[in-house]
Structure formats: structure tokens, C-alpha cells
Amino acid sequence: MKYLTSFLFGLLFLYANYDLSAQDSHRQKSIYPEGITVEYGIGSFAVTDEYISTEKYSGPFPYSSITWANLHSDYVYHLKIDFGNSSEIKNNNVSADIFQFTLNQGFSYALPKFTLFDNDTYLYLGPSAELYFYFNEQNIAVSGLDYTQSFALLISGGINSQIFYDLFDKLSIEGTLDFNVISFGFRMVDTEESDESPAKILTLLSANNVVFTLGPRYFFLDNLSVKAAHLFHLTRVDSWEPLLSAGDNVVFTLTYGF
């Protein structure tokens, strides 16, 4: 994962200009939430996993994450772990246990500051490497010809971005967008009825893992801030029996910088 991140950075570096001389570097650094961030979200989740069923299952799905962000002179390193689990994902009277886990690391580089509606706006962009795991277990008794478990695993290289819209000295609007570009994917397959490989190289045409957040952040102190945001997570894998899932959460975060 480390080498994949470095490779993607090398490609990005050829096309990006990171000259920050025209920016207010102090504000650029103070607006980025450095340190440890803990996050909890409540919301809904929907999935159609055609390895098990063509029906859609949905229900409440809590979300938790922890992030470490470290500012350096010309980049930000961040490492994030998030997970969600629910046994209340249902289709009529049939329920399923859904578990999701993501490990993401990346580097973000500040692009030149610009003005939007008379307010300063700061944009960060960089490469990332990610491991995403999904597991679905149906809570039903089945015959030997039916399937009650399914999983998907994506090891991806992608792009991460953050934007900070400076409203006031202590209040900003923060948005993030992370997505994969190329992935090494694994999927459960029926080895008795198919000789399809459980492992494949996947592009954006066959697999997407996208996370988008948007919300206000308030700084109580230079090193202590809170944020409330909307989080949307979309996963699509089409190279095997199709998998499509979407999570829609309201999340609350607390960030403390050392």
C-alpha cells in the first residue's frame, strides 16, 4: 500500500504545481484539522448483493472512524480507519448482518488559495491507498443450493481531496471527496458452477468506492474543533455478481491536535 501511494504521488506531481508563496501559510495550516479525529455517525444503509439476492436490503447503519493527520512543511499525511456494522438491514422479514471496514492512508498537498464569494478557499489534493472490506451474512436457514454469505475486498489506489471555505476566524465549511482509480479486487464466487477467478484487476468502469462529506467545522481553540457533516458512501462492484451499496449518514467529529 505504501509503494502504491508513492507511485500515484509521482504521477500527480508531474501535473501539479505546489507553489504556495502567494498564500497565507499560517491560515492555510491552521484551518486544516491536524491531530486525532474521532467520528460517529447515524444514518441509513441500502445494498443489493446479487451473489445472494437481487432484492434490496436496507436499514439503520451506525458509523465510526478514527483519523490521524500530521502537517508537514509541504504536505499533510493522514491515516484513517472506519467501520460500520448492523444486524438490522432488512428486506421484509429477512434480515442480514452487514459489516464494512476501511483503512485509508494518503498524502494531501495544498494548491494555491483562491477566493469564492469574497471568502478565502483552500484546496488540498493528493494520492491515497485504501483497503476496503465488505461482509454480508443472511439471518436465514437455507438449503445447500442457496448462499447466505458474501464478501468483497478492494485494495485500491486513488485520489483524496479536501476543501476549506473560510467563513469566519473560527468557522469554516469543510468538504472531502475520496475515490478509487484502480483496484485489485476479491469477490466470493460459486466455484461449483463457475470457473470465474475470485481476484481481478478493476478500473473505474468495474468498481467504484466513493466517499463524500460536507459540513461546518468550528474551532474552540487552535487545536480543538468539532464538525457536523453529511457523509455519503457509495460502493459498486460489477465484475462478478453485482454489488451496489450506499450509506447516508449524519456524522459528528471531534478533533484534537497535539
The CA-atom distances, in angstroms, between 57 and each of 162, 189, 210, 247 are 32, 20, 20, 12
Q: What is the pLDDT of residue 169?
A: 84
Q: What is the pLDDT of residue 168?
A: 86
Closest to 234 measured CA to CA, from 244, 221, 249: 244
Q: What is the pLDDT of residue 233?
A: 97
Closest to 158 measured CA to CA, from 98, 224, 209, 87: 209
Extract the runs of DSSP E, i.e. beta strands, from the chain: 35-49, 57-60, 63-71, 76-91, 94-110, 114-116, 119-138, 149-166, 171-187, 199-202, 207-221, 224-237, 243-256
Q: What is the pLDDT of residue 129?
A: 97
> Domains along the chain?
2-33+45-256 (2.40.128)
Question: What are 40's strand-pairing partners?
Answer: 64, 252
Q: What is the pLDDT of residue 30?
A: 64
Q: Which three cell numbers stand for residue 172?
A: 469554516
Q: What is the pLDDT of residue 18?
A: 39
Q: What is the pLDDT of residue 195?
A: 81
Q: What is the pLDDT of residue 180?
A: 96
Give pLDDT tens digits along the chain (258 positions): 544 444 444 444 433 443 444 445 555 556 788 999 999 999 999 999 999 889 999 999 999 999 999 999 889 999 999 999 999 999 988 899 999 999 999 999 999 989 989 899 999 999 999 999 999 998 875 555 455 789 999 999 999 999 999 998 889 999 999 999 999 999 988 777 778 899 999 999 999 999 999 999 999 998 999 999 999 999 999 999 999 999 999 999 999 998
Name 206's Cβ contacts closer than 8 Å, sequence gap at least 6: 200, 237, 238, 239
